Amino acid sequence: MTDETDDSEIKMVVAMVRPDKLGDVKKALAEVGAPSLTVTNVSGRGSQPAKKGQWRGEEYVVDLHQKVKVETVVADIPAEDVVDAIADGAHTGEKGDGKIFVLPVDNAYQVRTGKEGPEAV
Ligand SMILES: Nc1ncnc2c1ncn2[C@@H]1O[C@H](COP(=O)(O)OP(=O)(O)OP(=O)(O)O)[C@@H](O)[C@H]1O
Ligand SMILES: [Mg+2]
């Protein structure tokens, strides 16, 4: 392969988890050697149908739930370890615990040093 990024093993692990589990998730990630992360407040829905309710005679629909999106990019540790750590930190056993996705990353660049590829992660 001529394109050096083709065989790169950089992965992004994207997880939507309960906001009150963020602390446990961060701790689990640091313990597995992946302390770098981006956190965003998001709203979303999983597979459960929307819930209808009544409040002061008005009908409302609970469709979207507040979650936290955690993005972690790794090169030197297996994405599976990151997935396990997040799942560990986020788990309660109740519906709505969250979802984890693993994506390939083409390349990475560290702004300060100009480094590129896995060592920039
Ligand atoms: N297929 C999906 N695509 C994009 N986002 C998703 C998907 N599934 C879940 N999410 C995100 O993850 C959050 C949590 O999903 P949730 O844990 O409720 O999934 P679920 O499949 O309904 O599982 P459970 O039965 O445990 O509730 C959602 O609010 C949404 O933000
Ligand atoms: Mg759900």
Q: Cα of 37 to ligand 1 centre, how many Å?
A: 20
Distance from the Cα of residue 93 to its chain's centroid: 18
Measure the CA–CA gap between 22 and 9, rounded to whole angstroms: 26
pTM to 2 decimal places: 0.90
- Going along the chain from its start, the domains and CATH numbers come out as 11-120 (3.30.70.120)
Among 13, 20, 47, the mutation site with the greatest number of ligand 1 atoms within 8 A of its Cβ is: 47
Residues with CB under 6 A from ligand 1: 16, 42, 44-48, 65, 67, 95-99
pLDDT digits (tens, 9 = 90+) for 60-84: 988 899 999 999 999 999 999 999 9
Q: Give the DSSP letter of residue 50.
A: P
- 3-class secondary structure, 48: coil
Rounded Cα gap, residues 29 and 49, in angstroms? 31
- Give nearest CA residue, ligand 1 atom 31: 44
User: Could you report the per-residue pLDDT of 13-24, keeping only the tens digit for each?
Assistant: 999 999 999 999
